[in-house]
Amino acid sequence: MITVLAGGVGAARYLTGLVRVVPPGEVTAIVNTADDVTLHGLRVCPDLDTVAYTLAGLVNPEAGWGLAGESWTVMGALERFAGVAPPGSQAATTWFRLGDRDLATHLYRAGRLAEGADLATVTAEIARALGVGVRLLPMTGDPVETRVGVAGEGEVGFQDYFVRRRHAVPVTGVRFAGVESARPAAGVLEAVAGAGVVVIAPSNPIVSIGPILGVPGVRDALRARRRSVVAVSPIVAGAALKGPADRMLAELGHEPSVVGVARLYAEVAGTLVVDTADAGRAGEVEAAGVACVVAPTVMHGPDEAAALARATLAAVRR
């Protein structure tokens, strides 16, 4: 069994490579839910859906999220209420784009949650419906919400920072509201303790992997088997391949480099895989107490993702 701690796009790409190397049924993905947002009475789970859609081969390949071949009729029709929604109301929100087919996923999830099903159960149903063989586990079924301090504006929700502001504003702080009292979803701690290898996928260390590590019990379970936990750096030559990870690291006082990532993960991961562009920094990664493996980590397509998955597994089985 291989367990992968996963955020959104980078993790989803990595997983498409991993399932070419090992049978999907041997993979469990523990997915971040702190990006989740309740909108239009629906519980939207961006990272769970991005992983599910990507593994199902249904994701919009340009965006990395949402469904390919999507239509936007409902969003267009919702615009007509923008003029009457009172200040502060989210009911006519269209800056967070929910496609017509994507909405079906949110309708199903909201309906099942309203019937009393827990998020892990509903996630398994959605994965089964989409033909996803990897076991998808939310990190928790309890409400955890990433709150981002934005310079000069106070604290905003994650999607407000990431989408509405296009993460083009410096962050002054990040916290995961509710994480202290969140219970790991059923199977999460067992998936960490029982796996042959645990992989921390190339996701944003602060807002994608950070919340998962914050769920009580997860950090300890990883630390207990640190030697067979391997992380893949999402930072290559000081930059993030997608999203604000590099800027967030710097804005929050970490070095935006493989060394900064190594220091963040040193307590829970014994090995860090860095891109060939960062081969020269391997010594500093090792000085941070983390074994360093150099391999191509930029995944343009499934072949490179599979090669990275192989290198990651080899790094631990050394």
Per CB under 6 A, the list member of 40, 60, 74, 96 interacting with ligand FO1 is: 96
Per CB under 6 A, the list member of 20, 97, 101, 226 interacting with ligand FO1 is: 97
Q: Provide, rounded to whole angstroms, the least separation between the CB of residue 234 and ligand FO1.
A: 11
Q: Provide, rounded to whole angstroms, the least separation between the CB of residue 17 and ligand FO1.
A: 18
With CB under 6 A as the contact rule, which of the stretches 46-54, 114-122, 137-145, 191-199 interacts with ligand FO1? Answer: 46-54
> Is residue 251 a contact point for ligand FO1 (CB under 6 A)?
no
Q: Are 275 and 285 within 8 A, CB to CB?
A: no
Q: How many residues bind ligand FO1 (CB under 6 A)?
A: 17
> Is residue 33 a contact point for ligand FO1 (CB under 6 A)?
no
Residues within window 1-20 making contact with ligand FO1, judged by CB under 6 A: 7-8
Q: Are 37 and 159 within 8 A, CB to CB?
A: yes
> Is residue 234 a contact point for ligand FO1 (CB under 6 A)?
no
Closer CB to ligand FO1, residue 123 or residue 159?
159
Closer CB to ligand FO1, residue 96 or residue 310?
96
Q: Taking the mean position of all CA atoms in its chain, how far away is CA 151?
A: 24
> Is residue 47 a contact point for ligand FO1 (CB under 6 A)?
yes
Q: Provide, rounded to whole angstroms, the least separation between the CB of residue 93 and ligand FO1.
A: 10
Q: Cα–Cα distance between 10 and 243 in angstroms, integer?
A: 10
The angle at the Cα of 145, spanning 149 to 173, to the nearest 5 degrees, equals 20
Q: Cβ contacts of residue 144 below 8 Å, gap of 6+?
A: 33, 34, 36, 176, 177, 178, 179, 182, 211, 214, 215
DSSP designation for 183: P
Q: Are 201 and 232 within 8 A, CB to CB?
A: yes
Closer CB to ligand FO1, residue 10 or residue 260?
10
Q: Provide, rounded to whole angstroms, the least separation between the CB of residue 204 and ligand FO1.
A: 7
> Is residue 250 a contact point for ligand FO1 (CB under 6 A)?
no
Per CB under 6 A, the list member of 159, 233, 257, 312 interacting with ligand FO1 is: 159
What Cα–Cα distance (Å) separates residue 256 from each residue in 55, 67, 73, 262?
A: 29, 32, 40, 11
Q: Provide, rounded to whole angstroms, the least separation between the CB of residue 162 and ligand FO1.
A: 5
Q: Cβ contacts of residue 124 below 8 Å, gap of 6+?
A: 135, 136
Q: Which residue is nearest to ligand FO1 (CB)?
A: 8
φ/ψ (deg, to 5) at 261: -65, -45
> Is residue 145 a contact point for ligand FO1 (CB under 6 A)?
no
Q: Which of 109, 119, 87 is nearest to 39 (CA)?
A: 109
Closer CB to ligand FO1, residue 14 or residue 65?
65
Q: Cα–Cα distance between 186 and 53 in angstroms, integer?
A: 22
Residues within window 49-78 making contact with ligand FO1, judged by CB under 6 A: 49-50, 65-66
Q: Are 109 and 45 within 8 A, CB to CB?
A: yes
Which residues of this protein are in contact with ligand FO1, per CB under 6 A?
Answer: 7-8, 35, 44, 46-47, 49-50, 65-66, 96-98, 102, 159, 162-163
